[in-house]
A = this chain, B = another copy of it.
Amino acid sequence: MRPQKVQDHEVLTALTKVFRAKGFEGASLKEIAQETGLKKASLYHRFPDGKKQMAEAVFNHVDEWVVTNIFKMLINEDLTPEERLGKGIKNISSLYKGGSESCILRTLSMQIGMELFGMQIQTGMKEWINHFEKLGLAFGLAKSEANKNAVQTLIEIQGSLIVSEGLADQSVFEKTLKRIKNRYQNI
């Protein structure tokens, strides 16, 4: 009945921020409370199943962003294949802040355990492959080539994030995105 002190989307933003920075176990309710501006008990009012549910909300939130800004972009028939590629890559770069932020979906799923997110991660990865495969087809690749290409693209994105972080050198990620782009353009 009482008015919400903080809007849902603000809570979600704060949650995403904390989980991204600290991971699942590393993010304490205390910190989450500070960041969201809500007390612990209030958080439990909004997320009766506790911390896991909060992580789940973040997971779905990010997932939705990816669908909207990357998947749909890659198959948008209103754009030329070149345009789809360009915007898709651009949004991937922005999702990972140019390589400075790791993949939050991977982090969360690793730390919470595959019980909760395993299937969603698997489905999500298949979607990445699926959509890049469609892009490959649009560029004129045969189906099996397009698939190989898509898997390779996913591997390179994830791998370059790891290496960028490890070396503390974002240029690794940037170069990888360029490499991916070139591979499609040179078909």
Contacts and interface: CB of A to CB of B under 8 A. Distances in A.
Contacts of A151: 163, 172
Interface of A: 23, 25-26, 102, 106-107, 110-111, 118, 121-122, 124-126, 151, 154-160, 162-163, 166-168, 172, 176
Nearest to A113: B26
A25 B167 contact: no
Contacts of A110: 23, 102, 107
Contact of A25 (B26, B107, B122, B166): B26
A22 to B, nearest CB: 9
B155 A159 contact: yes
Nearest to A105: B166
18 contacts: A23-B110, A23-B111, A25-B25, A107-B110, A111-B111, A121-B166, A122-B166, A122-B167, A124-B166, A151-B172, A154-B159, A155-B155, A155-B156, A155-B162, A155-B172, A158-B159, A158-B162, A159-B162
A152 to B, nearest CB: 8
A155 B180 CA distance: 13
A167 B125 contact: yes
A7 to B, nearest CB: 32
Contacts of A166: 106, 121-122, 124-125
